[in-house]
Amino acid sequence: MLGLLWRAVFLLLLLVAPVAARAEGRLVDFEIASRRFDGNQAGVTAIRKAIAYLPDGYEAGRRRYPVVYFLPNLFDDQRAIFDRDGAKAVLDRAIAEGTVPPLILVSADFSTPAGSSFYATSPVTGDWTGFLAQDLVAAVDGRFRTLPRPDSRGLLGDRMGGYGAIRTAMLAPGVFGAVYALHPVGTGVGLQTMNSRPNFERLAAAKSLDDLGDDGFSRVFLGMYQAFLPHPGKPPFHVDFPASGRGASLATDPVLTARLQNAFLLDRLLPAHASELKALRGLMFDWGRFDGNADHVVANRAFAGLLEELGVANEAEEYRGWWGERHWTQGGRVETRALPFFGRALAYEEK
Amino acid sequence: MLGLLWRAVFLLLLLVAPVAARAEGRLVDFEIASRRFDGNQAGVTAIRKAIAYLPDGYEAGRRRYPVVYFLPNLFDDQRAIFDRDGAKAVLDRAIAEGTVPPLILVSADFSTPAGSSFYATSPVTGDWTGFLAQDLVAAVDGRFRTLPRPDSRGLLGDRMGGYGAIRTAMLAPGVFGAVYALHPVGTGVGLQTMNSRPNFERLAAAKSLDDLGDDGFSRVFLGMYQAFLPHPGKPPFHVDFPASGRGASLATDPVLTARLQNAFLLDRLLPAHASELKALRGLMFDWGRFDGNADHVVANRAFAGLLEELGVANEAEEYRGWWGERHWTQGGRVETRALPFFGRALAYEEK
Amino acid sequence: MLGLLWRAVFLLLLLVAPVAARAEGRLVDFEIASRRFDGNQAGVTAIRKAIAYLPDGYEAGRRRYPVVYFLPNLFDDQRAIFDRDGAKAVLDRAIAEGTVPPLILVSADFSTPAGSSFYATSPVTGDWTGFLAQDLVAAVDGRFRTLPRPDSRGLLGDRMGGYGAIRTAMLAPGVFGAVYALHPVGTGVGLQTMNSRPNFERLAAAKSLDDLGDDGFSRVFLGMYQAFLPHPGKPPFHVDFPASGRGASLATDPVLTARLQNAFLLDRLLPAHASELKALRGLMFDWGRFDGNADHVVANRAFAGLLEELGVANEAEEYRGWWGERHWTQGGRVETRALPFFGRALAYEEK
Amino acid sequence: MLGLLWRAVFLLLLLVAPVAARAEGRLVDFEIASRRFDGNQAGVTAIRKAIAYLPDGYEAGRRRYPVVYFLPNLFDDQRAIFDRDGAKAVLDRAIAEGTVPPLILVSADFSTPAGSSFYATSPVTGDWTGFLAQDLVAAVDGRFRTLPRPDSRGLLGDRMGGYGAIRTAMLAPGVFGAVYALHPVGTGVGLQTMNSRPNFERLAAAKSLDDLGDDGFSRVFLGMYQAFLPHPGKPPFHVDFPASGRGASLATDPVLTARLQNAFLLDRLLPAHASELKALRGLMFDWGRFDGNADHVVANRAFAGLLEELGVANEAEEYRGWWGERHWTQGGRVETRALPFFGRALAYEEK
């Protein structure tokens, strides 16, 4: 009933209020010092950036709010959704129209010099799982008027961040209560082999990141190897490569390739962690079927099947759209799916 | 703004009203005499049954309402969604909560003695397209306070009825303004061949429908042949069969099989009728990915691709669920997808 | 029995002969003047190049031989399989080892200035079907000691040429008796839409082929439009484009897109031409499952299903391999599949 | 060169020999007493039946031969391929025509009272891997003139037996040198979940195998649970069930389901055992794309991808055909693929 009341009241307020006075949230940049990256060999700094969206009324009131932690996509920093995608307007409107009750959204930087941390824990890149599930949560609960319990914490991730959201729910259980992954990657292998993507010759010859130029696949996979095939003390990148050569001369190391897949792919992690996902108040993910990389589509379909097989309640929706097309747009996935999901799945009341 | 107002007002009314007085619509059974079946050879009778859901307030007021025409699944009559699925409660609640503005829903009987009319026009089974798009619409506009124009008419079909909804929008353009197909069938061929499904030996030997017993596939396909491979004057079923034999001895007639597919499958009809679908105010369909008949899933994915290729705006959603599992349930597809869709896509005001 | 005898005799000859004297065929370049390109607007010249492989013993004997017509892939001319792929050695060895009885193989140039003729007939690019099925065959039968009848003529196509082989068997029936398509393209649409591939903005702005630079997809699709959406008298390319814009601004013309697909895609042509394929002595095609363009794989699987549905006897084999990887290699598809196929499917005796 | 000589000589012999004198092999039934089933709780007896095909010339000569071990499909005993499928004639012809050099083929019984042993090792059903890789091999090497080394031992399995062949090569390395799996099952999960197949209500209520009647899926899955979810001492079947209920009431145990999949599915076993498969002289498998259970097709495609990813050389061929249709037929998979494969992959000479 409370949900209905919120919606009704907000709708009426919206209708009677002058447009000029429409409620707006506020953005607050902040930083967190973390020891999770001590000794890392990838150039990750200890001071991590973050940004919080505080809903309209936050400052005037004393209420506590749930927090949705937003995990950015590869190559995006913590501000990209606000600076580029208009996320603040989406949140303002969704709260104003009662799509979701007022909440705090926190976005942090999960990038490494090579690209992405893959939201993983590695001796080369640091303990990103701990940073997210412990340090960041503690910092946010300490700084803002949050509802400081799992039932009121959500994870919302965008593509690579969607991967991070599901991964973190499996590997750091008991911290977050609901997960929404927008078009996650890394849920499984698709039609092409993983080892066919990077240029191993270029990777093997490179002396620094600059030598990779704008070879996107090689950069992404280097980040993956730093996360999942770390080899501390082996310059320049401190990784093992799961293969060498290219095309007809590709030579695969089956042991390293298997180790990479077992550590990286969510469908390999799931069998041992299904219970952690079952314990969530809500799990949802989606993907656009016209992603130019069909591997993502095929892998997400199969991952949805594996969740079903293991009895993990979830919503998994394939929609008309391509890679990231409709996440923060008006009427897009965040507004019509993710925020209503967090409206249903999180607890909004103090106990 | 009007949509917002409706939602707000209804939510408030809902909250202040005593539960005992919750608004309820009313069901009205009625019949239509149609000449569209004159001369049919399948035993279809001229008096067709239908049922209308009239929203709360219909009788006390003078307002006109949009109409959603519901097309039942195979083997369902016009009352099945009310008698078995609780459709009235779903509609009552959705209107009461502002999920959709008040509207009329009409369900009619599209079955034939063999099973389904396939919502098609055939010399053997009659002109079901004309019955739906002309006779039924005229009867409803004549009998109820409707908004008698395409912008205010929707088609909502369930599986075989979803097929009928898309088919009718293509073949009888200009009558309906928005289409929602729940888990449609017949959008294309899937993984198995169509001719591998029915028992042609049993069909060829049968003297009457009773001889088919409970062989569901053979019955369904007989209805398909009456619709799309009619052969009037050829007893007992007045059809041609596109193949004979079974398994290793299956002998396919390529001309009849091609004719059947061209007449039946929506992906074969679409290239010549894409413009009719583009002219709609809204087109949406969905399917559950765990349908035990994977052909439906594969075909719907491909049909979504073909719509995209031809530039037909649409929403096509694949969700966690199996064959018909979540259509009329609480929080199911009708309540959370189809009715909000008709809330957006239909016109609710008199011009 | 004759086949067995050939194999036995050749194997023994092979074993007793000194290696230095191993039998070799001979390559003969020749040209054909054709009127099929009169009035074309794509710069196609009337003198067409071809090359014939004549088996060892051709010159010393009086025997007549079957002819396999080889249709090259996109961007390959008639000599590419000999100059680059070592086709002569493959043929020499296959005949010497009795993999296939001696035969003539003829390869011709099917390229246009834009890229490929798509083996089609168009007012812009000329009548390539007629050139192949009538002019080339007549020239070969006139110049060489062939078995001049359909039972002794095969079509072997490589990728785009595989497309051409199946297309020609459908549209020029009664000329060729057996078809083998190596990894054909254009059998249907795959996962991505066709209109997402070319750069319509660049195509629309281009004043000449040079303006397309090395944009391979745009060049390929321009050739497709010249073949299937010709618009004679509309410079510079004499085509209609089925869409304009790009990405989010892509605007599709559903009528032109449907026309293109109906004219181009083999699965659209098949229903009306299944009987022509059924009349063949043999039909086989194959593809490697790791083609980097998964659309080809998906489309070939579906095409195999449609052939099955329509009762067209065929062999369709998906193998471990990628785009063109194993066609002319030792132990590759030509040697282990295509040539034995023609050994079974063609007639090698004079009547 | 030796291969060529064999083929030539046999072809010539074949041509000069009177048909009535065509060479024939001989079948020898025999039994093996094994301790691998001591203490099993599934009613498996210690005396196991087997049958050997000895090639023509075996008795008159002193030569040693390679051995192909044939693993039967579910519900087939060791004689089924001879009594039902005409395997002897296929072997006679293939050897006579030089398709494969002379070899011994041994087929044994791998069934249990519930159905199949799944070629696995379990406290409930016994150590079938040890029986095959050690006891049976030792018995055959002791009884017949074999080439008693891995290079001269092949595994040929049919469907469930194809599963067994790949499984055994992974789990009992160093015994067999080449593996051919005809249409294997259990390579991975397909489109439907495994837990949707058996009737858990019926399984839970059953007091004996008879209570399962002709419910094929439930019987097959019971055998699977005896192999992979054994619970010795828990009557009547000595298994755990990974789920209970049915349809909407299905309740999945994620831990048991994960355990089952990890123990059963070849794609779960492969990452840790890829090196064992890489060490083979040859690995090939195939499947017909029209298998009525599309899960097998989807799983085999994905398994082929995983082998590629891990760098395991293999041939994996998808062909036109359905479930088991063309295994032992003339021109079928055994004759045209499996036997030539063993001709290439096994060693036929004494060292």
pLDDT tens track for C277-317:
999 999 999 999 999 999 999 999 999 999 999 999 999 99
Whether residue A186 contacts residue A262, with contact meaning beta carbons closer than 8 Å, is answered with no
CA distance D288 to D265: 20
CA distance A308 to A323: 25
| Radius of gyration for the alpha carbons in chain A, expressed in angstroms and rounded | 21
Question: What letters, b where the CB count within 10 A reaches 16 and e where it falls short, cover D217-235?
Answer: ebbbbbbbbbbbbbbeeee
| Strand partners of residue B68 | B105, B154
Residue type, D95: I
Alpha helices in chain B (DSSP H): 2-16, 80-83, 87-96, 128-130, 137-143, 160-171, 200-205, 216-228, 254-264, 266-278, 294-309, 333, 339-345
Residues of C in contact with B261 (CB under 8 A): 271, 309
pLDDT band at B63; cut points 50, 70, 90: very high
Measured in Å, how far apart are chain D's first and last C-alpha atoms? Answer: 17
| Cis before D236? omega within 30 | yes
Mean pLDDT, range D24-38, rounded to an integer: 97
C294 in reach of chain A (CB within 8 A): yes
Nearest CB neighbour to A311, from listed D254, D262, D275:
D254
Whether residue A304 contacts residue A289, with contact meaning beta carbons closer than 8 Å, is answered with no
Mean pLDDT, range C90-115, rounded to an integer: 97
| Strand partners of residue C230 | C239
Helix (H) or strand (E) holding C155: strand C153-158
Q: Which residues have CB under 8 Å from C71's CB, separation 6+?
A: C107, C108, C110, C119, C132, C155, C156, C157, C158, C160, C161, C162, C164, C165, C168
Q: Which chains does chain A touch, 3 or more C-beta pairs < 8 A?
A: B, C, D
Residue B26 has pLDDT above 90, yes or no: yes
> What is the nearest CA distance from A309 to chain D, expressed in angstroms?
5
Total CB pairs under 8 A between chain C and D: 68
Q: Which residues have CB under 8 Å from B19's CB, separation 6+?
A: none
For chain C, the average pLDDT equals 94
pLDDT the model gives residue D247: 84
Nearest CB neighbour to B192, from listed D193, D292, D325:
D292
Residues of C in contact with D12 (CB under 8 A): 8, 12
CA B317 to chain centre: 17
Question: What letters, b where the CB count within 10 A reaches 16 and e where it falls short, cover B276-302?
Answer: bbbebbbbbbbbbbbbebbbbbbbbbb
pLDDT the model gives residue D163: 98
CA B188 to chain centre: 16
Whether residue D95 contacts residue D58, with contact meaning beta carbons closer than 8 Å, is answered with no
Phi, psi of A63 (to 5 degrees): -65, 155
For chain D, the average pLDDT equals 94
| Strand partners of residue D53 | D27, D105
Nearest CB neighbour to C305, from listed B193, B258, B262:
B193
Report angle CA B138, B142, B145 to the nearest 5 degrees. 120
Whole-Å CA distances, D197 to D164, D215, D219, D244:
21, 11, 11, 12
pLDDT the model gives residue C248: 83
Specify the DSSP class assigned to residue D330.
T
Helix (H) or strand (E) holding C337: none
Which residue has tokens 């590709």?
A: A250
CA distance D273 to A255: 9
- Cβ neighbours, 10 Å, residue A103: 25
Whether residue A161 contacts residue A72, with contact meaning beta carbons closer than 8 Å, is answered with yes
pLDDT the model gives residue C40: 97
Q: Say if the Cβ atoms of C320 and D314 lie within 8 Å.
A: yes
pLDDT band at D1; cut points 50, 70, 90: very low
Residues of B in contact with C258 (CB under 8 A): 271-272, 274, 310
Q: Say if the Cβ atoms of A292 and C196 lie within 8 Å.
A: yes
Nearest CB neighbour to B4, from listed A14, A304, A317:
A14
Whole-Å CA distances, B64 to B138, B153, B347, C333:
15, 12, 11, 69
Residue of D282, D100, D315 lying closest to C332 (CA atoms): D315
CA distance D24 to D89: 8
Q: Say if the Cβ atoms of D196 and B290 lie within 8 Å.
A: yes
Burial of D16 (0-12, 13-18, 19+ CB in 10 A): exposed
Write out pLDDT tens, residues B261-283: 999 999 999 999 999 999 999 99
B29 in reach of chain A (CB within 8 A): no
Whether residue A290 contacts residue C193, with contact meaning beta carbons closer than 8 Å, is answered with yes
Write out pLDDT tens, residues C110-124: 999 999 999 999 999
Q: Which residues have CB under 8 Å from D339's CB, separation 6+?
A: D91, D94, D99, D100
DSSP helix/strand/coil, C244? strand
Residue, of B186 and C14, whose pLDDT is higher? B186
Helix (H) or strand (E) holding D283: strand D282-288
Stretches in chain A below the pLDDT threshold 70: 1-22
Measured in Å, how far apart are chain B's first and last C-alpha atoms? Answer: 17
pLDDT the model gives residue D11: 55
B244 in reach of chain C (CB within 8 A): no
Whether residue A48 contacts residue A108, with contact meaning beta carbons closer than 8 Å, is answered with yes
Q: Return the HEC string of chain A.
A: CHHHHHHHHHHHHHHHCCHHHCCCCEEEEEEEECCCCCCCCCCCCCEEEEEEEECCCCCCCCCCECEEEEECCCCCCCCHHHHCCCHHHHHHHHHHCCCCCCCEEEEECCEECCEECCCCEECCCEEHHHHHHHHHHHHHHHHCCECCCHHHEEEEEECHHHHHHHHHHHHCCCCCCEEEEECCCCCCCCCCCHHHCCCHHHHHHCCCHHHHCCCHHHHHHHHHHHHHCECCCCCCCCECCCEECCHHHCEECHHHHHHHHHHHCHHHHHHHHHHHHHCCCEEEEEEECCCCCHHHHHHHHHHHHHHHHCCCCCEEEEECCCCCCCCCCCCCHHHHHHHHHHHHHCCCCCC
> What is the nearest CA distance from C33 to chain B, expressed in angstroms?
38
CA distance B200 to D126: 45
Report angle CA A89, A93, A94 to the nearest 5 degrees. 115
Residue C321 has pLDDT above 80, yes or no: yes
CA distance B347 to B340: 13
CA distance C227 to C171: 15
Residue, of D264 and C19, whose pLDDT is higher? D264
Q: Say if the Cβ atoms of C310 and B252 lie within 8 Å.
A: yes
Q: Which tokens hold the place of B44?
A: 């279809």
Q: Which tokens hold the place of C293?
A: 């363009």
Q: Say if the Cβ atoms of C318 and D317 lie within 8 Å.
A: yes
Mean pLDDT, range D196-211, rounded to an integer: 96
Measured in Å, how far apart are chain A's first and last C-alpha atoms? Answer: 17
Whether residue D302 contacts residue D309, with contact meaning beta carbons closer than 8 Å, is answered with no
Mean pLDDT, range D69-92, rounded to an integer: 97
Q: Which tokens hold the place of A128?
A: 């990103």
Specify the DSSP class assigned to residue D1.
-
pLDDT the model gives residue A241: 98
For the ranges A95-99, A171-175, B5-9, C323-327, the lowest mean pLDDT is seen at: B5-9
Residue B228 has pLDDT above 70, yes or no: yes
| Strand partners of residue D76 | none
pLDDT the model gives residue B11: 55
pLDDT the model gives residue B17: 52
Write out pLDDT tens, residues D117-145: 999 999 999 999 999 999 999 999 999 99
Residue type, B273: H
CA distance D64 to D350: 7
CA distance A106 to C274: 60
Of all residues in chain C, the one with the smallest CA distance to D308 is C320
Is the four-CA dihedral D214, D216, D222, D223 of positive or negative sign? positive
The domains located in chain D, with CATH, are 22-189+270-345 (3.40.50.1820), 195-257 (no CATH)
pLDDT band at C11; cut points 50, 70, 90: low
Mean pLDDT, range D29-39, rounded to an integer: 97
> What is the nearest CA distance from D204 to chain B, expressed in angstroms?
23
Q: Which tokens hold the place of D110?
A: 């791998």
Specify the DSSP class assigned to residue B13.
H
pLDDT the model gives residue C268: 97
CA distance D4 to D10: 10
Residue B10 has pLDDT above 60, yes or no: no
Residue C54 has pLDDT above 80, yes or no: yes
CA distance C75 to C67: 24
Burial of B33 (0-12, 13-18, 19+ CB in 10 A): exposed
Write out pLDDT tens, residues D143-190: 999 999 999 999 999 999 999 999 999 999 999 999 999 999 999 998
Which residue has tokens 């050897």?
A: D95
Task: Write down the pTM of the prediction.
Answer: 0.94
